[in-house]
Structure 1
Amino acid sequence: MWKPLLIAVGLLSLVCGAIGVVLPVIPTTPFLLLSAFCFTRSSERLHNYLVSHRIFGEYISNYYNHAMTPQHKFRTLLTLWCGIILSCFLIGATIPWIILPLIATGVSIHIIRLKPRPEATPTASSPEADSGSEPHFADDHKA
């Protein structure tokens, strides 16, 4: 009974995450993490597809490894601050000019503190390449 429901929620969440890749209003990572959660408990095939996907797998890998490439950090911070500043101008009230930058500062600190992940793909002789096509998910959660 739970498997079909988890697959349906995972697929719906995957669609929302895919839409979030191109629409800045919709978050991507939370939806993809929900999909990974649902697929882990319902379909090994769908979970393997998601974590090894060319685009979506990077989001999940970044979260599991608590790491981002410097280029991804830069793009994320640039998009975050452009969106916050645009929102403040569009809203125009004083309170958003205080609250939104405070939230963005907290998020920025979190992103900056993430450990750097190399941008280059692993070579055939590296230990990461021995793990197959799936991304490596670290078990330690050190900050």
Structure 2
Amino acid sequence: MKRVQKVVFITLGFVFMGIGIIGIVLPLIPTTPLLLLASYFFVKGSKRFEVWFKGTGVYKKHLEGFVQNRSMTLRQKIILMIFSDVMILIPLFMTDKIIVKVILTSIIVYKYYYFIFKIKTVKVRSY
């Protein structure tokens, strides 16, 4: 892999990790998907950074359970759903094209199906 590409991946990993950490404090920013993105970029960028990231407390507290067990707390699900709904509803209301409205509505419906039936809800994380 090109060195520049690795640097970009590692940089994006730190950017998404930073925003995800901010999301721990600010409930409007979804922590889990941002940390998943950070993990993806660290894996693509460097084995060393992947190992480092998976050893951090942030990863263990907010992401490890999801990655291993495909589970989230109800609070995590609700915050993520609200954030993603707002992001999808903005273009939904701004467009006049029916096909775009149908696609966005389908995404919302599928998202609820997936989060309700495919991701297990746990009360308390065991670390």
| Interval of TM-score (by shorter of Structure 1 and Structure 2) | 0.5 to 0.7
In structure 1, the partner of 2:58 is 53
Following TM superposition, the consecutive aligned residue runs of length 4 or more in structure 1 with deviations greater than 4 angstroms are 1-8, 20-24
Moved more, 108-117 or 14-23: 14-23
Deviation at 1:58, TM superposition (A): 0.8
Aligned residues: 117
In structure 2, the partner of 1:104 is 108
Larger radius of gyration between Structure 1 and Structure 2? 1
Q: Distance in 2 between matches of 1:80 and 1:103?
A: 10
- Structure with greater helix percent: 2
On the 8 A contact 2:92/2:100 being kept in 1, the answer is yes
Q: Partner of 1:84: helix, strand, or coil?
A: helix
Show the 5 A alignment for 1:1-143.
6=6, 9-19=9-19, 21=23, 28-38=34-44, 41-43=47-49, 44-49=51-56, 52-53=57-58, 57-113=61-117, 114-119=119-124, 128=126, 135=127
In structure 2, the partner of 1:125 is none
What is the percentage of aligned positions where both structures have the same residue? 16
**Pair 76,32 (structure 1): closer, same or farther in 2 beyond 3 Å:** same
Structure 2 residue runs without a partner (length 5+) = none
TM (norm. structure 1) is: 0.59
- The Cα RMSD (Å) is 3.6
Q: Distance in 1 between matches of 2:45 and 2:54?
A: 5
Q: Distance in 1 between matches of 2:12 and 2:44?
A: 11
Q: Distance in 1 between matches of 2:42 and 2:122?
A: 21
Q: Distance in 2 between matches of 1:57 and 1:7?
A: 26
TM (norm. structure 2) is: 0.65
Partner amino acid, structure 1, of 2:123: P
Deviation at 1:7, TM superposition (A): 6.9
